[in-house]
Amino acid sequence: MSWSFLTRLLEEINNHSTFVGKIWLTVLIVFRIVLTAVGGESIYYDEQSKFVCNTQQPGCENVCYDAFAPLSHVRFWIFQIIMVATPSVLYLGFAMHRIARMPESLRRRAPAVRQARMPVVRRGAGRDYEEAEDDNEEDPMIFEEIEVEKEKSPEGGEKHDGRRRIKQDGLMRAYVLHLLCRSLLETAFLFGQYLLYRFEVSPSYVCSRSPCPHTVDCFVSRPTEKTIFLLIMYAVSGLCLFLNLCELVHLGVGRIRDALSQPDGSLLLAGSSPAP
The chain-wide mean pLDDT, for the chain, equals 74
Torsion sign across C-alpha atoms 16, 20, 26, 31 = negative
pLDDT in tens, 57-92: 888 888 998 888 888 898 999 999 999 989 888 888
* Alpha-carbon 269 to chain mean position: 39
Q: How confident is the model at residue 48 (pLDDT cuts 50, 70, 90)?
A: confident
> What are the structural domain ranges in the chain?
6-102+169-259, 120-163
Which residues lie closer than 8 Å to 202 by C-beta, 6 or more apart?
220, 223
Q: What percent of the chain has pLDDT over 90?
A: 17
* Alpha-carbon 268 to chain mean position: 39
| Prior bond of 211 cis (ω within 30°) | yes
DSSP sequence for the chain: --HHHHHHHHHHHHHTS-HHHHHHHHHIIIIIIHIIIIIHHHHHTTTTTT-EES---TTHHHHHHHHH-SS-HHHHHHHHHHHHHHHHHHHHHHHHHHHHTS-HHHHSHHHHHHHHHHHHHHHHHH--HHHHHHHT---HHHHHHHHHHHHHHHHHHTTTTSHHHHHHTT-HHHHHHHHHHHHHHHHHHHHHHHHHHTT---SEEEE--TT-SS-EEEE-SSHHHHHHHHHHHHHHHHHHHHHHHHHHHHHHHHHHHHHHHHHHHHHHHHHHSPP-
Asked whether residue 171 carries a pLDDT value surpassing 80, the answer given is no
pLDDT computed for residue 14 by the predictor: 66
Angle between helices 3-15 and 73-100 (to 10 degrees): 70
pLDDT computed for residue 88 by the predictor: 86
pLDDT computed for residue 152 by the predictor: 45
Asked whether residue 141 carries a pLDDT value surpassing 90, the answer given is no
Fold of 6-102+169-259: de novo design (two linked rop proteins) (1.20.1440)
Read off φ and ψ for residue 265, nearest 5 degrees.
-65, -40
pLDDT computed for residue 77 by the predictor: 92
